[in-house]
Amino acid sequence: MTNTTEQAVVVSQTNLRSNQSVVQLALFKADGTPHIVPERSAAQTDVGAVTSVVAAGGTPTKAEYDALRVDALATRTVLNALLAKMRTANQLAP
């Protein structure tokens, strides 16, 4: 008995040569359920630059506290968006 080896290479549709054909491929998990490959999510923006500044020594002012709070909320927003994208891509449990 002769064993044959087949190779799969991912090539974009625009890069197919005239002698190549498209084959549909299905992926399955070890338990037999289909493995869904999600579409790529849009890029996630980086957390912006820190805008809060604390004066040397002393108790922070209300303005300094408010600026720090805005920075923390911006970081939370970016982190939550990234986590949502990872859940959609099945990289994290829902």
Alpha helices (runs of H) in 1-90, residue ranges in sequence order:
62-88
Domain boundaries, the chain: 13-88
CA atoms within 13 A on the CB side of 47: 14
CA atoms within 13 A on the CB side of 79: 6
Q: What is the pLDDT of residues 9-54, one digit of tens each?
A: 777 777 777 777 777 777 888 888 887 777 777 888 888 888 888 7
Maximal C-alpha separation, the chain: 83
Question: Where does the pLDDT of residue 6 fall: very low under 50, low under 70, confident under 90, or very high at 90 and above?
Answer: low
Mean predicted lDDT score pLDDT of the chain = 82
Single out the residue of 68, 80, 72 nearest to residue 44, CA to CA.
80
